[in-house]
Amino acid sequence: MTAIGTPFGAMSIRQLQAGLAAKEFSATEVAAASIERIERDDARMHAFLELTADMAADAAAKVDAALAAGSLADAGPLAGVPVGFKDNMNLLNTHTTCASNMLANYLSPYTATCVAYTLHAGALPLGKLNMDEFAFGSSTETSAFGPTLNPWDFERVPGGSSGGSAAAVAAGLVPVALGSDTGGSIRQPASFCGIVGVKPTYGVVSRYGVVAFGSSLDQVGPFARTVEDAALALNAISGFDEHDCTSQAADVDFTANLAEGVRGMRIGVVPAFMEAEGLTDEVRDRVAEAAQKLADLGAELVEIELPNAKAAMSAYYVLGPCEAFSNLARFDSVRYGYCDPGHADLGAQYEASRAKGFGPEARRRIMLGSYLLSAGVYDTYYYPAQQVRTLITQDYERAFQKVDCILTPVSPRTAFKFGEIGDPTQMYLSDMFTISINIAGNGGMSVPVGLGANTNLPVGVQLISPAFKDVNMFRAAAALESVYGPAPVAPQFAGTH
């Protein structure tokens, strides 16, 4: 708690580090108070699955020691910043459950690269965050340990699959959390919770140590309430990792052009998206308004087409399950994970362990992927889906010859109520505007642009960058933030001390 009464988790990185540098408070106090606040304020919301108070205290002690010995900067760019990690990220000696009964007791014997980089940057690890089981979902309802509630309205979902990460940041429990995004799992919950969520270009952040869902689609990224905080976090976690063949050196400072403004920037808008079936009026209005604001700031709006985006949904629901089926085969009760007791032969143990360890959505996707890859079926779905990937990638390449960044909705609607969407295929529509970016591999982020006129719930817009030009979307995002202000802490958490 600070003199001005703002909880540490509700501060920006700049505010926190200024306070630390001025010795207004110590990192140890930040860690302890943050843990205490989560224990108190997260009880109902259920963003965190596990708290790592000791690790946070150890990290804080190092930051305090660095500060005492010299300067805060020596402790790293995220020195003293409380963070949380989606529970599909390995952190040595913590549980990594993927919100699944399969891994309820799994202890990580190693640390994911993105987590290691965050800690190396001086951040204070507070704990692990709830998610849809194995990241299969858009609502965090499929968590085997119970859903996370949307901090804006406890009757609603926080989005998913990184719902815990989004809720924790939106509630001001942490300034930064990491999530992963396979089809919209960072951007959609960021939008539902009214914060910034970044899915960088595939390869910007190492996937090593992040439990895989769709290996060619997964990408790790930060949640934050300000664009600058998101950029600082991405600076810390990005870069080539020798443990991930698909990671690439970015050598970019994502904060570099935040102050540049958008004058002269060409922003693409997609008329077909704005007329998409299922897009609610309140979201459409907010997105249109955001585009106009960018134009007012001097950006040039250019209408573009992404003709093959309509096939993205079906391509995604081919590629994702195929890769997931294979990635989830390792959960077999032999080396780790749930092992159903009392079986005399391995086949029976396999079948019972996987039946009970996986939830319904995981089972569906494993079954679907296995079917889609089977002999004869492969050529009907999987191979064409990879061809469609080429077309979608070419769409973006063509569009980015004309524009520097594209602006679209994130989700067709604001946060829905628990149980409101039961049909899996309807749930899949949550990702209609986000998945083509995972398929093509370029960067996308969600930026809050106020509340929907009908639901009074947060709406986000999506900014899309060319591959490895993620700085473009950060530049436009900072401009939007200059208009809409940084993301507020969700109202019912804003007053809690």
Interacting residues with another protein between 219 and 258 (CB under 8 A): 242-246, 248
Q: Does 199 bind another protein (CB under 8 A)?
A: no
Long-range contacts of 91-96 (CB under 8 A, 24+ apart): 91/52, 91/55, 91/115, 91/125, 91/128, 94/50, 94/52, 94/55, 94/127, 94/128, 95/49, 95/50, 95/128, 96/128, 96/211
User: Nearest 5 degrees, angle CA 427-CA 432-CA 437?
Assistant: 130
Q: Is 88 in the site for another protein (CB under 8 A)?
A: yes
161 a catalytic residue: yes
The strand pair at 82-86 and 124-129 is best described as parallel
Residues 208-220 as b/e (b if ≥16 CB within 10 A, e otherwise) read: bbbbbbbebbbbb
Question: What is the Cα–Cα distance from 131 to 163, expressed in whole angstroms?
Answer: 5
Distance of CA 459 to the CA centre of its chain: 16
Closest listed residue to residue 463, CA positions, set 199, 74, 223, 73? 199
Window 326-345: residues binding another protein (CB under 8 A):
326, 329-337, 339, 343-345
Catalytic residue among 185, 191, 206, 465: 185
Is residue 269 a contact residue for another protein (CB under 8 A)? no
Give yes or no for a contact between 55 and 31, defined as CB atoms under 8 angstroms apart.
no
Among 2, 15, 215, 492, binds another protein (CB under 8 A): 215
Q: Out of 314, 482, 492, 496, which residue is the one contacting another protein (CB under 8 A)?
A: 314
Q: Which is nearer to another protein, 153 or 431 (CB)?
A: 431
- Nearest distance in Å: CB 250, another protein: 13
Q: How far is the CB of 99 from another protein (least distance, A)?
A: 13
Among 18, 65, 109, 456, binds another protein (CB under 8 A): 109
Q: Which of 14, 23, 310, 417 touches another protein (CB under 8 A)?
A: 310
Question: Which CB sits closer to another protein, 215 or 257?
Answer: 215
Single out the segment in contact with another protein by CB under 8 A; choices: 33-41, 50-58, 190-198, 434-442. Answer: 434-442
Catalytic residue among 12, 139, 161, 333: 161
Q: Is 120 exposed, middle or buried (0-12, 13-18, 19+ CB in 10 A)?
A: middle
The CB-of-361 to another protein minimum distance in angstroms stands at 10
Could you say which residues in the range 4-63 bind another protein, by CB under 8 A? none
When asked if residue 425 is in the footprint of another protein (CB under 8 A), the reply is: yes
Binding test (CB under 8 A) with another protein, winner from 8, 48, 85, 106? 106
Judged by CB under 8 A, the residue of 35, 318, 478, 480 near another protein is 318
Torsion of CA 428, 429, 433, 437, to 10 degrees: 20
Among candidate residues 450, 462, 447, the one with its CA nearest the CA of residue 412: 462
- Could you say whether residue 424 binds another protein (CB under 8 A)? yes
Within residues 371-400, the interface with another protein by CB under 8 A covers 371, 373-375, 378, 380-391, 393
Just list the catalytic residues: 86, 161, 185
